[in-house]
Amino acid sequence: MTQFDPAPVVAALRSVTSPTRPLPLHEPVFAGREWDYVKDCLDTGWVSSVGAYVDRFERMLSQRAGDAHAVAVVNGTAALHVALMLAGVRTGDEVLVPALTFVATANAVAYCGALPHFVDSGPATLGLDPEALAAWLDETAERRDGACVNRRTGRRIAAVVPMHVFGHPVDMDGLAAVAGPRGIPIVEDAAESLGSLCRGRPTGGLGTIGTFSFNGNKIITAGGGGAIITADADLARRARHLTTTAKTAHPWAYEHDCVGFNYRLPNLNAALGCAQLEQLDGFIAAKRSLAAAYREALAGIPGVTFVDEPEGCRSIYWLNAVLVPDAAARDALLAATHAEGLLTRPAWGLMHRQPMYDGCPRAPLPVAESLADRLVCLPSGVTAGSGRSA
């Protein structure tokens, strides 16, 4: 095992961020009209799940997602849950999910009564690898009665969920070439990639249906919140119905035609989201500038590779990250950076290693396991690099 020295990395990170306090991984910035819009909600009394800001937020999101329909909901996990239902995922199905993802991706599958089926990542994107997926499906799946079925378990493979890790787009064209002929809908987890482009097209609107998150640590925040994105007007209508307790339209009667969910985003949160969306382009520019500074500062340090955007894509670099030689080097870098007030973190624990999912079907996962052992995420807030000299 090669000895890894974290000191040059720490020095490089300090040269970029010039921290005067403990520097978190990510934090929100409120520099626009947040106070004005939230106060307007309070002044008018429109603070709950309907209101002008909800409508405006959805229109703004629709434009950012390539003029698809947008339905605002309480958080990204709720968005993914309903998106999977709309894609046809049912109890007893399997859903193809990257092993390297945040737990919400797998949890949303479980909420549907389905099983996550874990697949490997690609080294260039960190996300789901279409080539590895194609090879795995050739080995384990077959078409049966119009559906793609796992021949080992007999369960239907009902959807595939690519997640754009740290804002870096998955190869969506490659994935469509694998999923389309097999009849597998693509439910796009774009929680971390609002504003990223995949070959000129915005993430979130590239699958059958997609989702965003506006948690406090995302590039924009509504203090929570999420959205369902689709180009299909009927799917959007059904999403709106399901997330509003499946209440049938009537001026006063409370009648519901199926089991629905109380998932609609409050107007108060949407107001915050509108003010944040107005600043999104500036946030993206700041994050890409920070990524460029990190890339330059880290160049040439032995054993360190900066995680760059995939070829043909524009990433928002929601989180900047580096790869180091092994788990021992990762842990040494985490300890050294935290000692200096740079609050780095490793990748998520792989999904197949979580106790509730360790018995789920999975492909070989050599790339995901290697990435998880070697990834270190760097402070990546919009203002993280603002202390450096111009």
Q: How far is CA 365 from CA 44, 62, 117, 132, 384, in A?
A: 53, 35, 12, 9, 33
Task: Supply the pLDDT for residue 390.
Answer: 33
SS3 82: helix
- Cβ neighbors of 209 (< 8 A, separation 6 or more) are 83, 86, 87, 185, 187, 188, 228, 229, 230, 232, 235, 239
Q: Residues 244, 126: one domain? A: yes
pLDDT of residue 387: 55
342 three-state secondary structure: strand
384 is a domain residue: no
- What is the average pLDDT value for the chain, to the nearest integer? 96
241 with 284, same domain? no
Interior angle at CA 157, CA 192 and CA 141, nearest 5: 120
Give residue-wise pLDDT tens across range 174-231.
999 999 999 999 999 999 999 999 999 999 999 999 999 999 999 999 999 999 999 9
In this prediction, residues 35-56 reach a mean pLDDT of 95
pLDDT computed for residue 2 by the predictor = 64
Asked if residue 387 belongs to a domain, the reply is no
248/258 Cα distance (integer angstroms): 10
Cα dist. 18→216, 330, 341 in Å? 24, 22, 11
What does the pLDDT look like over 119-171, one tens digit per residue?
A: 999 999 999 999 999 999 999 999 999 999 999 999 999 999 999 999 999 99
Alpha carbon distance 150, 139 (integer Å) = 10
Q: Which of 277, 292, 326 is the last residue of a domain?
A: 277
Pair of tokens at residue 76: 């990204």
* pLDDT over 90, % of the chain: 95
CA distance 387 to 390: 9
Given a cut of 60, whether residue 259 has pLDDT beyond it is: yes
Q: What are phi and psi of 276, to 5 degrees?
A: -70, -40
d(Cα 68, Cα 206) in Å, to the nearest integer?
10
* Owning domain of residue 96: 34-277
N- to C-terminal Cα distance for the chain?
A: 39
Q: What is the helix, strand, coil percentage profile of the chain, to 5?
A: 35, 20, 45
Nearest to 215 by CA among 22, 23, 77, 376: 77
Binned at pLDDT 50, 70 and 90, residue 30 comes out as very high
Would 60 be classed as within a structural domain? yes
Distance between CA 96 and CA 48 in Å, rounded? 35
Give residue-wise pLDDT tens across range 277-327: 999 999 999 999 999 999 999 999 999 999 999 999 999 999 999 999 999
Cβ atoms 203, 169 nearer than 8 A: yes
152 and 301 part of one domain: no
Q: What is the CATH number of the domain that holds 194?
A: 3.40.640.10
**How high is the pLDDT of residue 213?**
98
- Dihedral over Cα of 134, 135, 140, 143: its sign: positive
Distance CA 319, CA 294 (A): 12
| 16 and 39 fall within a common domain | no
In this predicted structure, what is the pLDDT of residue 389?
38
Instruction: Look at the block and give the residue holding tokens 């007999």.
Output: 154
165 and 267 assigned to the same domain: yes
Exposure of 9 in the CB half-sphere (CA atoms within 13 A): 27
- Residue 351 per-residue DSSP state: G
274 vs 66, which has greater pLDDT?
274
- Asked, for residue 49, whether it belongs to a domain, the answer is yes
Last residue within a domain, chosen from 259, 277, 295: 277
pLDDT at 82 > cutoff 70: yes
* Spatial CB neighbours of 24, under 8 Å, sequence gap ≥ 6: 343, 379, 381
> pLDDT per residue over 346-372, tens digit each?
999 999 999 999 999 999 999 999 999
Please name which of 182, 183, 175, 180 lies closest in space to residue 131, comparing C-alpha atoms: 175
One domain, residues 332 and 357: yes
The token duo for 252 is 């006063």
Does residue 386 lie within any of the structural domains? no
Q: How is 233-265 classified by DSSP, letter by letter?
A: HHHHHHHHHHTBTTBPP-SS---BSS---B-BP
Indicate if the pLDDT at residue 22 is higher than 50.
yes
In this structure, the answer to whether residues 257 and 201 fall within a common structural domain is yes
* Residues 135 and 70 both lie in one domain: yes
Question: Which of 277, 306, 324 is a domain's end point?
Answer: 277
What's the maximum distance between 2 C-alpha atoms anywhere in the chain?
71
284 within some domain? yes
Residues 11 and 96 in one domain: no
| Counted domains in the chain | 2
pTM over 0.75: yes
Answer yes or no: is 385 within a domain.
no
In order of 20, 167, 240, the CA distances from 261 in angstroms are 45, 29, 10
Based on the fold, state whether residues 121 and 25 are members of the same structural domain. no
Same domain flag for 172 and 318: no
CA–CA gap between residue 336 and residue 205 (Å, rounded) = 40
For residues 96 and 170, give the distance between their C-alpha atoms in angstroms, rounded to a whole number.
14
Does residue 383 lie within any of the structural domains? no
Shared-domain flag, residues 55 and 202: yes
Question: Given this model, what pLDDT does residue 126 score?
Answer: 98
- CATH number of the domain to which 327 belongs: 3.90.1150.10
C-alpha span between 105 and 119 (Å, rounded): 13
